Structure 1
Amino acid sequence: MIEVKNLYKSFEGNEVLKNVSATFENGKTNLIIGRSGSGKTVLLKSILGLFEIDKGEIWYNDRNLTQMGEKEVKRMRREIGMVFQGGALFDSISVEGNVRFPLDMFTRMSSKEKKERVEFCLEHVNIEKHAFSLFPSEISGGMQKRVAIARAIALNPKYLFCDEPNSGLDPETATVIDKLIQSLTKEFQMTTIINTHDMNSVIEIGESVLFISKGEKGWEGTKHEILKTDNKKVNDFIFANKLYAQMKGK
């Protein structure tokens, strides 16, 4: 579980996050949604410790990130997996090499153990063995995202962060990625936080949804509750997509 308490963050006097509190539960897909510029990316990076917050607390289970020293933070980051918006695979390294990279960097596993772990992770995201030796440029965008997820879980993380994991994907492939992240979250009982503006993701896997508006918590609930809310800001966000306007009207 990750808990954020009364978080504030500003840049050069411009307050971007204002008194945000939220709980992200273990074994659930926790989504942060909001318009571009709402502060959701700053919130995600603050939780990761990439931004130093002005006020507030960030708890990883019983550990307060804001009170940790540099060495403690480094140790804790080994418990974190990250799926970046563009996948961020290394172009000059094979699929297998990309997944092995964090194992080379942060573990003392033998070559055999690394090979077994890489195969385990790639098989879990449905990458077939013939693709292990291919380079990112030789596989589809959807496969690249799956490889990125395999790399993110290579170190068996307790916490998984995904920044716009469906960016650039067609709706069908995006749904596959959503379901994959949800399945892995439950199987490995991770605390997963997904930053997205995609309402399809909300409806598919939004077990816990936090809506950020102008740097403040505007609403929170589940994928079932979001279609029934009378919160005007949330509705404006939803109704930007006519499909969900129709769903809400049923």
Structure 2
Amino acid sequence: MDTLQVILLALIQGLTEFLPISSSAHLILPAQLLGWEDQGLSFDVAVHIGSLLAVIIYFRVEVWTMLKAWLASIFKGQHTEDSKLAWWIILATLPAVAFGFVAKDFIQEHLRGPGVIAITTIVFGLLLWVGDKLSRDELTEYQTGWRKALLIGFAQAIAIIPGTSRSGITITAALLLGLKREAAARFSFLMSIPVILGAAILMSKDAMSTDAVIDYQAMCLGIVMSFIAAYACIFFFLKIISKMGMTPFVIYRLALGIVLCGFVFM
């Protein structure tokens, strides 16, 4: 890949990892418009590492506090709001792990086409609008509870279907369950840490099993650019989400889905 391709794809991954607009839908567009080939597993690992570092560093205080509280709940039996939140995030991760293990091969084979991504971009965009309009907007992430966390986790499992958007479907579920917009986004972003980490580990394992030449310069640039984009995305999204709501992202998803449909069906 040339430098422009690396920068563009890393920025796309960093931005769309946390915005509710589907990263897979956006990564199709450069390939369709510019004829770019698949970037390869090593580059996928790099941009996921950049996104992971961004969310961990942004929430470094919360992550450290939850980690200490979680360990205290195990070894000392001390249960606090932070330890409960940590357990809920772990619980919410389990459905995605199970669904990914069972359905990964089927989805890779049958549901990665641009037609599927175009349709899911539109359908789950509309569902995001419904979630935003019906939300009671009253709970924080510390009031989620294990039942709601598990339901959000099942929603996250659906995101293995390309075009769904992991952040989009988890924020939608959290809104429908009564979380405030910012709390829904924060819970979704914290949930992303184990999921992105797991995905990066699996992709690293697959990458090491191939004979493909690794472009370390492209990987380093990809990490840096995806980190910058993801960190900026998290920062600004949390600043504006309470006032702006989800409607602009819904409109954007619908327009993107229509454009993708144009590539597929014309």
TM-score by length of 2: 0.29
TM-score by length of 1: 0.30
The structure with higher relative contact order (CA 8 Å, sep 6+) is 2
Structure having the larger proportion of residues in strand: 1
